[in-house]
Structure 1
Amino acid sequence: MSEALRRLLDGLGHDDDWLRPDRWRERAQMQERIERLALALALGADADAAVLAARADAAQARMDAADADAAAALRARIVAGEGAQLLREWRSASPADAHGDGYDPLDALLAAVLGLVEPRGEIAAPAPPTVFYQPTPARHLLDLLARLDLGEHDVLIDLGSGLGHLPLLAAACTPARCIGIEHEAAYVDSARAGAQALRLQRAEFLHADALVADLSAGTVFYLYTPFTGDLLAQVLERVRELSLQRPIRVASLGPCTRTLAAQPWLCLLQPAWSPDRIALFAAGAA
């Protein structure tokens, strides 16, 4: 293990190309490899372990600094109004297959760019039928935004928006107005701070219950199984009533998609659906 780690660190020391902003995915892979080799080394009895561990820490610190610089540059591009171009770039860097519920380096990059930080306030355990918060993997969000092709007259409402991944990303990369509705106040505070830092005036976050929040402006609704059972049924009924007034689209990921697929008023806008890819539905008269 010591020889493999030494070779890897020597290679990094001879070439600074891996510090370039666009090498973020490769840096993440190298960091994972360094961590794995360093851990194995620490569990052994190699005489050079301390020296190699210090070199590994230094390499990790340089990569972290390069990632921070890359995120800052991307944030500046969002503030400058280059979000649509960034969406295309991130899509090209995203895995071609959007299936699965795992995370990859793109999630860490976008979390840094969007300023997604864990809230400082206390997070209460979810009361049934709400569920524990889990962010949507970034590749799914990019896939969804590409399929939605949101315009300036669209209003995207994320029901159970958490830290605000989708509303922030959509407001940064599309001309749509974006609203996150979240019952946990600490998450709302964090999402609002992210929107303010990126000057996203079209991103709004409401601390509210989805049963009583104002949904009237929505043209697109997103649910990552934020609740189940009767609560899900009641919220879907509110959305159905809106579909009687105008055309809407509903996107979902996770177990709640089965419930949406069973709704007679929703039409699936893709050949089939699966629980590990965002499904897109339409409702209302054209």
Structure 2
Amino acid sequence: MEESLRENAERIRSRIAGGAHDPAEFRASLLSVPPDARDAWLDLVFGLSELPDDGPDLPPGCVPYLPCSVDTLLRVVEQAGVQASDVFVDVGGGLGRAAAFVHLLTGAGAMAIEVQSKLVAAARDLAARLRVPRVACIEGDAAELTGCITIGSVFFLYCPFSGERLANVLAALESIARTRTIRVCCVDLPLPPCPWLALEPPRSGDLAIYRSTLLDGALRANG
């Protein structure tokens, strides 16, 4: 990485940890970095190096941890319209990288659900080092815990699992969608038919954004 980009990343990290973070400044600094260097730049801001190995607590049928690219997360934020008033939930949050990034970029509250205890500890360490109180990591099985995150408004699934586990998560999300309109963001993850989810106009092949429709009738009646 060029020295100027390294200095930029270190300056942004210092401002975040010092309580002087500004989402607009963070976005401008990120976008000034060439796309092929953005992941390395973010990892430097976050003080992340090598990926940890997956542990024995990764359940069968779950995908090993692999961080989502910065540019994909940028598209998620843009196409899902993530705002500071949202709560972003990363289902299978790993090191907490995506949750911390979305929070810093938008001001949204962010939560990561992660089953591997070693990754949970790393995610909590990241949030503590960055001093971002609106970022949290919950340890446990997303297939069992997702339905408990009733304050979530944007749920992110970066190909965490499929089959019965995915069906359980979608059932939990349907329950939440009966109380509030939510968006479900999927990367490289085809969803089974869900009558309560409407696919937003696709803008890229690997990313699909869905919006819940269960409350649409009530909103029209009240309008």
TM-score band w.r.t. shorter chain: 0.7 to 0.9
When residues 279 and 271 of structure 1 are mapped into structure 2, their CA distance, relative to the original with a 3 A threshold, is: closer
Question: Any residues of structure 2 matched to 1:30-109 within 5 Å, and which?
Answer: 67=6, 69-78=7-16, 79-91=19-31, 93=33, 95=35, 104-109=36-41
Aligned to 1:249: 183
Which whole-Å deviations, capped at 9, do the CAs of 1:15-37 have from their partners, x for residues lacking one?
xxx63x2xx3xxxxxxxxxxxxx
Q: 1:112 aligned to 2:44?
A: yes
Q: Residue 177 of structure 1 contacts residue 202 of structure 1 at CA under 8 Å; is this kept in 2?
A: yes
Q: Are 2:129 and 1:227 aligned?
A: no
Q: Is the 8 A contact 2:58 2:115 kept in 1?
A: no
Report whether the alignment pairs 1:283 with 2:212. yes
Contact 1:251 1:281 in 2 (8 A): yes
State the aligned residue count.
210
Change (3 A) 1:117 1:219: same
Tell me which residue corresponds to 1:60.
none
Q: Secondary structure at the match of 1:222?
A: strand
Corresponding residue for 1:194? Answer: 126
Name the structure where helix makes up a greater proportion of residues.
1
* 1:176 and 2:101 aligned: no
Aligned-pair CA distance for 1:281: 0.9
Q: Which of 71, 85, 89 does residue 139 from structure 1 map onto?
A: 71
Q: Secondary structure at the match of 2:132?
A: coil
Distance 1:243 1:168 in 2: 24
Contact 2:73 2:98 in 1 (8 A): yes
Match of 2:196 in 1: 265
Q: Deviations over 1:89-126 (max 9, x none)?
A: 4245454xxxxxxxx32111101112334577972273
Q: CA RMSD in A?
A: 2.3
Q: Which residue pairs with 2:150 in the alignment?
A: 216
Gaps of 5+ in 1: 1-17, 25-66, 96-103
Consecutive aligned runs of 4 or more in structure 1 exceeding 6 Å deviation: 119-122
Does the Cα contact within 8 Å between 2:110 and 2:134 map onto a contact in 1?
yes
* Greater percentage in strand: 2
For residues 84 and 185 of structure 1, the distance between their equivalents in structure 2, rounded to whole angstroms, comes to: 33
Distance in structure 1 (CA, Å) of the matches to 2:57 and 2:128: 28
Shift of 1:273: 5.5
Query: How many angstroms does 1:146 deviate by?
Result: 2.7
Q: Distance in 2 between the 1:131 and 1:121 partners? A: 12
Corresponding residue SS for 2:191: helix
Deviations 1:54-113 (A, max 9, x none): xxxxxxxxxxxxx2x332211123341223332244245454xxxxxxxx3211110111
Q: TM-score, normalised by structure 1?
A: 0.67
SS of the residue aligned with 2:12? helix
In terms of Rg, which structure is larger? 1
The alpha carbon displacement at 1:127 in A equals 3.1
Distance across 2 between alignment mates of 1:178 and 1:144: 14
Q: 1:269 to 1:85 in 2, by over 3 A?
A: farther
The answer on whether the counterparts of 1:269 and 1:282 sit within 8 Å (CA) in structure 2 is yes
* Counterparts of 1:181 and 1:84, CA distance in 2: 27
- The percentage of counterpart residues that share the same residue type is 31
Instruction: Name the CA distance, whole Å, in 2 between partners of 1:158 and 1:120.
Output: 18
**Counterparts of 2:46 and 2:23 in 1: how far apart (Å)?**
12
Larger RCO of the pair (alpha carbons < 8 Å, separation 6+): 2
Partner amino acid for 2:212?
Answer: A
Mapped to 1, the partners of 2:169 and 2:137 lie a distance apart of 18
Kindly provide the amino acid, as one letter, of the partner of residue 41 in structure 2: L
SS of the residue 1:171 aligns to: helix
CA distance change for structure 1 residues 125 and 265 in 2, over 3 Å: closer, same or farther? same
